[in-house]
């Protein structure tokens, strides 16, 4: 394997394409990144009661996220300690215990081994059950209702890991001043024959691709608007400045927020759209705006929304640009150097009227979803990039991340908006500062 400092040269804005296809690098990522970082798993609203659980992955490890009988959230490795069979086959449910289908060992929802068939007769009562409970993630925590876990007992706290990004999650994800979010039942899963970093990098700061990758989406929207046709999923796209934010982090953990909208433009946009949904929706948009202003009263800058965000390594958010849109919470699960499985949850604001919730779900599904107007465009690009990564010449030349290189701390235009009070490095235009930071930190973890 090429040395890490040869693979990623962020000072020159160069990344070797082999990092998106190499098996050895991928295996190292499973250990150094997915075995160490805080990973997004889901939302507290998915497991409100004792015994509620859902299953997901941490890297390639299958886990059960469960609220145990004592109401603690635990993350259990979905692997029987006897011979390694899965102990749970369901996406979600409620359970006091899990019984393995192979030889019948039973585990309480705390992970403790409680039942061993023929314990007296075959084991002569001599198995130390306390030592053979399900393995569990040693660190589990929540922020803004979002559940995270890490396999590393010494990982920094979740709040420290998120740092400035926590502020954005608190205000736009958790919305505690609006009663929080709830995830609607179900998860949309789709596979992409490409490396997880292509999707993560896209969400981490690539607004540059939007006009060309999503030209058909923009064209349909324009034509519908010209004809006066209102359609769900074709959201109002305000003109004017939007801001890319690279939340600051002392250890350089590269989270990102994209397309922040200051001012009242998006609010007025929402009011117009709410009028089509009826007075209840209009009242909600007004009420929500007032609560948001109150929540941000100590902040000189009061952004209304942001379009997308990314928490390193694999948690993306989309659809936070409007009071009427569902929030997409996406985990990019790695399934090999050339395969990723997207798991997308849809969250809505809990106190919103039903008409707004229904609209929010449809809006999200018509845009960023497996059969929406947006996600397939990206996936096709990733697939073709991956095809090129398999050929000798295709592997040779580095990818270019040189946009506004050496301007990471001094974007032109920063002074045009008073960014005081808004955490992180705020950029007036699209740059690749976030992606450079992403690969810098990736390199740091992979070299450790
Ligand atoms: Fe689970 Fe044997 S593998 S009880
Ligand atoms: Fe896209």
DSSP of 393-448: TTTTSPEE--TTTT-TT--TTGGGS--TTS-SEEESS--SHHHHHHHHHHHHHHH-
Q: Does residue 238 carry a pLDDT above 50? A: no
User: Of 289, 243, 292, 276, which is closest to residue 423 (Cα–Cα)?
Assistant: 243
Q: Do the beta carbons of residue 333 and residue 345 sit within 8 Å?
A: no
Q: Does residue 279 carry a pLDDT above 60? A: yes
Question: Three-state DSSP class for 316?
Answer: strand
pLDDT at 233: 45
The rounded distance, in Å, linking the Cα atoms of 313 and 444 is: 13
Residue 190, token pair as written in the block:
């789709």
User: Which residues make beta-bridge pairs with 331?
Assistant: 315, 343
User: Of 186, 229, 226, 192, which is closest to residue 377 (Cα–Cα)?
Assistant: 192
- pLDDT, average across residues 102-112: 98
Residue 433, token pair as written in the block:
């500062």
Q: Does residue 236 carry a pLDDT above 60? A: no
User: Of 375, 425, 376, 394, which is closest to residue 165 (Cα–Cα)?
Assistant: 425
Location of structure tokens 């075959």 = 122
Q: Does residue 415 carry a pLDDT above 60? A: no
pLDDT at 322: 83
Q: Which residues contact 255 (CB under 8 A, 6 or more apart)?
A: 162, 163, 164, 165, 246, 247, 249, 309, 310, 311, 312
pLDDT at 282: 97
Q: Is the CB of 100 under 6 A from ligand 1?
A: yes
Tell me which DSSP letter residue 18 carries. G
Q: Do the beta carbons of residue 17 and residue 398 sit within 8 Å?
A: yes
pLDDT at 239: 45
CA of 153 to the centre of ligand 1 (A): 27
Q: Does residue 265 carry a pLDDT above 90? A: no
User: Of 7, 55, 12, 57, which is closest to residue 28 (Cα–Cα)?
Assistant: 7
Question: Three-state DSSP class for 234?
Answer: coil
Ligand located closest to 88 CA: 1
Q: At what angle do helices 433-447 and 23-32 cross, to 10 degrees?
A: 80
Structure-model confidence comparison of residues 411 and 315, the more confident one: 315
CA of 13 to the centre of ligand 2 (A): 21
Tell me which DSSP letter residue 264 carries. S
Residue 58, token pair as written in the block:
């941490």
User: Of 190, 194, 171, 196, which is closest to residue 181 (Cα–Cα)?
Assistant: 171
Q: Indicate the average pLDDT of the chain.
A: 89
Structure-model confidence comparison of residues 409 and 390, the more confident one: 390
Confidence of residue 409 (pLDDT cuts 50, 70, 90): low
User: Of 113, 111, 116, which is closest to residue 135 (Cα–Cα)?
Assistant: 111
The phi and psi torsions of 143 (rounded to 5 degrees) equal -145, 130
What is the torsion angle, in degrees rounded to the nearest 10, for the CA atoms of residue 197, residue 200, residue 205 and residue 210?
Answer: 100
CA of 79 to the centre of ligand 1 (A): 9
Percent of all residues in the chain with a pLDDT value above 70, rounded to a whole number: 91
User: Which residues make beta-bridge pairs with 287?
Assistant: none
The rounded distance, in Å, linking the Cα atoms of 116 and 99 is: 10
- pTM, two decimals, is 0.94
Q: What does the pLDDT look like over 26-74, one tens digit per residue?
A: 999 999 999 999 999 999 999 999 999 999 999 999 999 999 988 899 9
CA of 316 to the centre of ligand 2 (A): 12
Ligand 2 ion: nearby residues, β-carbon < 5 Å: 378
- pLDDT, average across residues 177-204: 93
Lowest mean pLDDT across 116-125, 318-327, 391-400: 318-327
Q: Is the CB of 105 under 6 A from ligand 1?
A: yes
The rounded distance, in Å, linking the Cα atoms of 140 and 153 is: 10
- pLDDT, average across residues 122-142: 97
Q: Whose CA is nearest to atom 2 of ligand 1?
A: 103
Residue 213, token pair as written in the block:
């990758």
> How many residues does the structure list for the chain?
448
Question: Three-state DSSP class for 77?
Answer: strand
Q: What does the pLDDT look like over 391-403, one tens digit per residue?
A: 999 888 999 999 9
Ligand located closest to 308 CA: 2
Q: Does residue 418 carry a pLDDT above 60? A: no
The rounded distance, in Å, linking the Cα atoms of 158 and 63 is: 19
């Amino acid at each position: 394997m090429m040395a890490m400092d040869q693979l990623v040269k962020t000072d020159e804005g160069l990344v070797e394409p082999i990092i998106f296809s190499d098996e050895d690098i991928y295996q190292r990522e499973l250990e150094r990144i997915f075995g160490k970082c805080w990973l997004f798993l889901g939302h507290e609203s998915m497991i409100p009661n004792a015994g509620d659980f859902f299953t997901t992955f941490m890297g390639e490890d299958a886990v059960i996220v469960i609220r145990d009988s004592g109401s603690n959230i635990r993350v259990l490795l979905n692997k029987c300690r006897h011979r390694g069979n899965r102990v749970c086959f369901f996406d979600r449910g409620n359970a006091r215990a899990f019984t393995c289908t192979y030889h019948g060992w039973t585990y309480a929802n705390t992970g403790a081994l409680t039942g061993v068939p023929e314990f007296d007769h075959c084991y002569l009562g001599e198995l130390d059950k306390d030592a053979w409970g399900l393995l569990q993630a040693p660190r589990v925590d929540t922020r803004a209702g979002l559940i995270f876990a890490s396999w590393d007992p010494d990982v920094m706290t979740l709040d420290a890991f998120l740092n400035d990004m926590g502020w954005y999650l608190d205000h736009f994800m958790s919305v505690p001043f609006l009663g929080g979010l709830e995830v609607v039942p179900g998860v949309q899963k789709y596979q992409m024959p490409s490396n997880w970093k292509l999707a993560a990098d896209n969400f981490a700061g690539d607004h540059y691709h939007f006009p060309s990758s999503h030209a058909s989406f923009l064209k349909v929207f324009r034509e519908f608007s010209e004809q006066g046709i209102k359609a769900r999923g074709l959201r109002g796209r305000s003109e004017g400045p939007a801001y890319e934010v690279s939340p600051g982090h002392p250890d350089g953990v590269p989270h990102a927020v994209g397309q922040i909208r200051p001012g009242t433009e998006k609010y007025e946009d929402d009011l117009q759209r709410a009028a089509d949904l009826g007075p209840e929706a209009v009242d909600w948009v007004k009420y929500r705006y007032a609560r948001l202003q109150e929540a941000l009263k100590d902040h000189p800058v009061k952004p209304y929304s942001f379009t997308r965000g990314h928490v390193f390594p694999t948690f993306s958010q989309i659809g936070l640009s409007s009071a009427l849109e569902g929030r997409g919470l996406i985990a990019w699960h790695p399934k090999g150097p050339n395969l990723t499985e997207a798991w997308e949850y849809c969250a809505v604001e809990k106190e919103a009227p039903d008409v707004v919730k229904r609209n929010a779900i449809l809006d999200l599904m018509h845009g960023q979803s497996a059969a929406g107007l947006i996600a397939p465009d990206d996936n096709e690009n990733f697939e073709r990039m991956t095809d090129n990564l398999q050929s000798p010449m295709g592997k040779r030349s580095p990818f270019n991340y040189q946009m506004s290189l050496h301007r990471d701390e001094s974007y032109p235009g920063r002074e045009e908006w008073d960014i005081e009070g808004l955490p992180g490095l705020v950029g007036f235009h699209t740059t690749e500062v976030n992606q450079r930071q992403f690969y810098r930190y990736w390199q740091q973890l992979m070299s450790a």
